[in-house]
Amino acid sequence: MRYPNRYMPDEAPSAQISAPLLYRPNVAAILERHNGDIFVAERINVKGAWQFPQGGVDSGEALEAAFYRELEEEIGVKSEHIEIIESRSGYRYAFPKGRLKYGIYGGQEQTYYRCRFLGNDSDICLDAHQQEFSKWRWIPPGIFQLAWVPKFKREVYRQLFHDFYQIDLID
> What value, to the nearest 5°, has the Cα angle with vertex 132 and ends 65 and 45?
150
Query: What span, in angstroms and rounded, lies between the C-alpha atoms of 12 and 101?
Result: 33
The residue type at 53: P
pLDDT of residue 143: 97
Alpha-carbon separation of residue 34 from 9, 83, 140 (angstroms) = 62, 11, 12
Instruction: Tell me the whole-structure pTM to 2 decimals.
Output: 0.85
User: Which pLDDT score is estimated for 98?
Assistant: 75
Asked if CATH classification 3.10.20.90 holds for the domain at 22-165, the reply, yes or no, is: no
Contact by Cβ (8 Å): 37, 137 = no
Domain boundaries, the chain: 22-165
Look over the chain and give the mean of its residue pLDDT values, rounded to a whole number: 89
Q: Kindly provide the residue ranges of all beta strands, DSSP E only, lying in the chain, ordered along the sequence.
A: 22-32, 38-43, 50-51, 54-56, 82-94, 105-117, 133-139
| pLDDT score at 4 | 37
Task: Report the pLDDT value the prediction gives residue 20, as an integer from 0 to 100.
Answer: 62
Block means of pLDDT (10 residues each) for the chain, 171 residues, are 37 48 94 98 94 95 97 97 97 88 87 98 95 97 96 96 96 83
92-101 pLDDT, tens digit per residue, is 999 988 788 8
Q: Which residues of 107-146 are buried (b: 16+ CB within 10 A; e: fewer)?
A: bbbbbbbbbebeeeeeebebeeeeebbeebeeeebeebee
pLDDT the model gives residue 10: 42
How far is residue 48's CA from residue 152's CA, in Å, rounded to a whole number? Answer: 15
